Amino acid sequence: MMREDPTVFDDVRSSCVFLPVFTYANPQYHKGFRRQVEFWPSSPVSHYISTLSCCPPRTVIADLGCGDAALARALVPKGYTVLSFDLVADGAFVVEADIFDRIPLPGSEVDGDGQGPGHAQIVNVVVCSLSLMGTNWPNCIREAWRILCPK
């Protein structure tokens, strides 16, 4: 719906106290979000950047519901691999994906016989900063588990 009609959530957006629904087609979301964050005691993304900067280089990070991909923009130049996913791609850092349905990365929940842990997981860290606000948030957690490397 957001891709077909970016104004579909305008009424919700104008009445929200917290974060409005995201859409790249309407950059007002990001402008409003940036203004709102200015009043927070600290930015969650800044915290993640600081924390993840302590990980070994070549750490693979998946940012689910990445918004404007601030995490990737800060960490990729430092040698990290950041895979940024959101509902609509920006053509540079963000891969289009419904993080509540299927993230386009390998990984299975269980092995071929249905008994052991899955295989082909490639992500070391998953970040879900403010992306678990929907009613279907357990689906995002399941996808995060599917793509994460064991242990």
Domain with CATH 3.40.50.150 in the chain: 44-147
Rounded CA-CA distance 22/13 in Å is 9
Of 3.30.360.10, 3.40.50.150, 3.40.720.10, 3.30.750.24, the CATH number of 44-147 is: 3.40.50.150
Residue 61 β-bridge partners: 82, 125
At residue 23, the pLDDT reads: 41
pLDDT tens digits for the chain (151 residues)?
556 665 544 443 343 433 334 444 445 555 666 777 788 888 888 999 999 999 998 899 999 988 889 999 999 999 999 999 988 777 788 998 989 888 999 887 766 666 666 677 899 999 998 778 778 889 999 999 889 988 7
Indicate the pTM of the whole model: 0.75
At residue 11, the pLDDT reads: 40
Please name the residue ranges forming H helices in the chain: 10-15, 28-37, 44-52, 70-75, 137-147
